[in-house]
Amino acid sequence: MDPLTLTVDIVIEYHKRVIAASDAPEDLGTGGQLLFPGNLDFALEFYREFADPLEQAAFLLHQIATGHPFVQGNKRMAFLLPALVLRRAPERYRIASSDEENNRVVRDVAEARMTRSAVESWLRSVVIKEG
């Protein structure tokens, strides 16, 4: 397996860190807890089917935001995981949009107002190559 590939164990560790950094009462004790483990397994299994890192990122953002694999922190993880995929790509991409725009997009996806292809189009409009 490619060392840059996201695995369930790696994602769970990131989730624990994201939740630990939160001061929201509803996050307390939910780090690493899965609500729908199969949804995370599916996302991590199939994002690799896309050759293009932007397609991978769009798939992950859409799948995590709509699949809600975690008890808490799904929207945060829906943004973090694609950002990691893009940063780890040989081209070293970065999402260069504002926090407000990022939050709006993730909420739109989570509330079924944005398709995966729309997410990919958005990413292509806001991602810059750093490497």
Residue 49 maps to which CATH number? 1.20.120.1870
Instruction: Report pLDDT digits (tens) over 36-62.
Output: 999 999 999 999 999 999 999 999 999
pLDDT, position 2: 67
Per-residue pLDDT of 11-33, as tens digits, reads: 999 999 999 999 999 999 999 99
In three-state secondary structure terms, 128 is strand
37 domain residue, yes or no: yes
Identify the bridge partners of residue 94 per DSSP, sorted by sequence position: 128
Domain count, the chain: 1
Rounded Cα gap, residues 131 and 128, in angstroms? 9
Q: Compute the mean pLDDT over every residue in the chain, rounded to the nearest whole number.
A: 96
CA atoms of 131 and 126, how far apart (whole Å): 16
Tokens standing for residue 92: 């070293």
Q: Are 63 and 43 in contact (CB under 8 A)?
A: yes
Domain-located, residue 91 = yes
In a domain, 110, yes or no: yes
Interatomic CA distance for residues 48 and 16, integer angstroms: 23
Specify if 61 maps to a domain.
yes
Q: What's the domain range around 52?
A: 8-22+32-129
The pLDDT value given to residue 3: 57
Residue 3 lies in a domain: no
Domain assignment of residue 95, yes or no:
yes
The pTM score is: 0.94
Residue 107 lies in a domain: yes
Classify residue 27: in a domain, yes or no. no
Q: Which of 59, 65, 61, 76 is nearest to 36 (CA)?
A: 65
